[in-house]
Amino acid sequence: MPLQPLLPAATLAVNFAELKAPLHPQEAHVEASRCLYCFDAPCITACPTGIDIPAFIKKIAHDNTVGAARTILTANILGASCARVCPTSVLCEGACVLEARDEQPIQIGRLQRYATDYVQARGLTVLSAPAIKTGRKVAVIGAGPAGLGCAAALAQLGHHATIFEKQPQPGGLNTYGIAYYKLKPEVSLAEVELVKSLGVELRCGVTVGRDISLADLERDYSALFLGLGLGEAHRLRIPGEDLPEVRDALDFIEQLRTEPMANIPAGRAVAVIGCGNTAIDAATQALRLGADSATIIYRRSEDDMSAYEFEYELAKADGVEFLFHTAPVEVLATDGHVCGLRLCHTVTNADGKADLVPHSEFTQAFDLVLKAVGQEKQVALLKQLFPTLAVTTRGAIQRDPLTGQTNLPHIFTGGDCANGGREVVNAVGEGKKAAHAINQFLTGTTVTPPIQPSRLGAPSGATGSGLLHPIRAHELAAALIKS
């Protein structure tokens, strides 16, 4: 039977409501006041974009929410998305010193959301690009987190950045590929508006190599940044894979973000193949869409899965079932529609690979199969566009890890196409780092990072020990909190 929508819009609105509620102003103040405003704060080091966390938290505690948002967005232009989707328990909050004191870490993600929501909701302008421009132009390929991070930083350095994006909408994963209950597309698109407000030009629906040639880009722009992301989803390579109810989990997630949910055909018994964070997003959303069951099927063990522990716990709490050491060997069909999977137990061999166990096959009924077994690298596209660009044996673009510069000096890269697929915040950080390297490439200068109040060992007013005199420190801190 073809699949049908299962639940009315009103029920879906409840099911897909944001998982983490925003902080009330009073809660934000209480939480911000718990922070110790550590010197050399480990939470800053743990953040791939280096947000000055104690500084923005202190600003919230002092009722300077706009200043807090400015501190966040200066370091991470996608601070609103990252506040929602970052695995904070393994990044900033995981590093918070309060953990070592057996206290709850500061809820940095929720405070970050509080500040960035405040300015987004009021349409406040907190960032600006310099009035004097360098006259240098940079082409950014891809409007995902890496491309947006790079373009925003380039604009703030006075360069003209143009982003070329093949999708109709910008934002990449943040707009298309994350569970709706974690991040609504509107938040991602509002961040893109912030990037555009800095003077970044955005050209969506343009495929480089088809709508605009590389030769044109190299003629018109002084440097290129590649933020291409990853390619097509891997195939299962089993019989029945091309049946209509076998879908890529990312396409399923995208459909939930781009179409009215009440019109989306839903499975009643959903199988999700793979056990990364995308698999969890797909399974938990299949249940929210009305499925009676969602089962994650993984050929390895619970300890081997790439999903974060907190994602696993969320899925279990939602009622997702798990079949470990199990692999699909055939998609079964009746009258051309999926009716189940033929599965086989697996065992891990001496090389760490999961082998099928002979004579252990069994079948289980499913009416929708979602594939979440990773994405291809864009090696073919890269070779076609840039035949001399160096690519690693794993298909990622080879680059200097500190600058993102490739073997072609005018081409820089960052994000999933270079790191193989990491977090949104890693992509933003790599884009930003590459922008500073591009700036150096174009102008031969470096940019000194702004003073950070958690590192008050500044030369002006410093004592012989390298630390500020207490009076000078208070003056500086007061000025920074107000900014």
Residues that bind ligand SF4 (CB under 6 A): 35-38, 41-43, 53-54, 57, 96-98, 106, 108
What is the number of residues in the chain? 483
Task: Name which of 43 and 217 has its Cβ closer to ligand SF4.
Answer: 43
Smallest distance, Å, CB 53 to ligand SF4?
5
Q: Strand, helix or coil at 184?
A: coil
DSSP characters over 415-436: SHHHHSS--HHHHHHHHHHHHH
Quick one: 41 or 77, whose CB is closer to ligand SF4? Answer: 41
Antiparallel, parallel or unpaired: β 223-226 and 137-141: parallel
By beta-carbon proximity to ligand SF4, the closer residue of 34 and 203 is 34
For the bound state, the minimum distance from the C-beta of residue 292 to ligand SF4, rounded and expressed in Å, comes to 42
The smaller minimum CB distance to ligand SF4, of residues 356 and 477, is found at: 477
In Å, what is the CA distance from 188 to each residue of 35, 96, 175, 363, 428?
Answer: 28, 27, 6, 41, 13
Q: How many whole angstroms separate alpha carbon 258 and alpha carbon 184? A: 10
3-state secondary structure of 469: coil
Query: Collapsing DSSP states into helix, strand and coil, what is residue 71?
Result: helix
Supply the minimum distance, in Å, between the C-beta of residue 97 and ligand SF4.
4
d(CA 291, CA 445): 57
Q: How far is the CB of 483 from ligand SF4 (least distance, A)?
A: 18
CB closer to ligand SF4 out of 31 and 248: 31
* Beta strand residue intervals within 274-352, DSSP E: 293-297, 321-323, 326-334, 337-348
Helices and strands (H, E) in the chain, number of each type? 20, 14
Of 41 and 427, the one with the shorter C-beta distance to ligand SF4 is 41
Nearer to ligand SF4, 43 or 327 (CB): 43
Q: How far is the CB of 478 from ligand SF4 (least distance, A)?
A: 18
Tokens 């929508």 map to which residue?
Answer: 5
Report the nearest approach of ligand SF4 to the CB of residue 314 (Å): 23
- Residue 122 in tokens: 């009021």
DSSP code string of 119-145: HHHHT-------SS----EEEEE--SH
What tokens does 380 get?
């073919």
What is the residue type of 131?
Answer: A
Burial environment of residue 120 by CB neighbours within 10 A (0 to 12, 13 to 18, 19 or more): buried
Nearest approach, Cβ of residue 55 and ligand SF4 (Å): 9
CB of residue 95 to ligand SF4, shortest distance in Å: 6
The CA distances from residue 287 to 6, 7, 15, 297, 441, in Å, are 11, 11, 9, 16, 50
Closest CB to ligand SF4 among residues 57, 183: 57
Measured from the CB atom, the residue of 403 and 452 that comes closer to ligand SF4 is 452
Tokens read off for 56: 């923005």
Is the dihedral angle over the CA atoms 395, 396, 399, 402 positive or is it negative? Answer: negative
Residues 6+ apart with CB under 8 A from 409: 441
Strand partners, 269: 293
Q: Which is nearer to ligand SF4, 106 or 332 (CB)?
A: 106
> Which is closer to ligand SF4, CB of 54 or CB of 67?
54
- Sign, Cα dihedral of 284, 289, 292, 294: negative
Q: CB of 58 within 8 A of CB of 146?
A: no
Q: What are phi and psi of 153, to 5 degrees?
A: -70, -40
At its nearest, how many Å lie between ligand SF4 and the CB of residue 182?
A: 22
Q: How far is the CB of 93 from ligand SF4 (least distance, A)?
A: 8
Give the nearer residue to ligand SF4 in terms of CB position, either 97 or 467. 97
Indicate if the alpha-carbon torsion angle 249, 251, 253, 256 is positive or negative: negative
CB of 41 to ligand SF4, least distance (A): 4
Q: How far is the CB of 111 from ligand SF4 (least distance, A)?
A: 9
The first and second tokens of residue 293, run together, are 């069951």
- Residue 103 or 193 with smaller CB distance to ligand SF4: 103
**Shortest CB 51 distance to ligand SF4, Å:** 10
User: Residue 114, Cα to own-chain centre: how many angstroms?
Assistant: 19
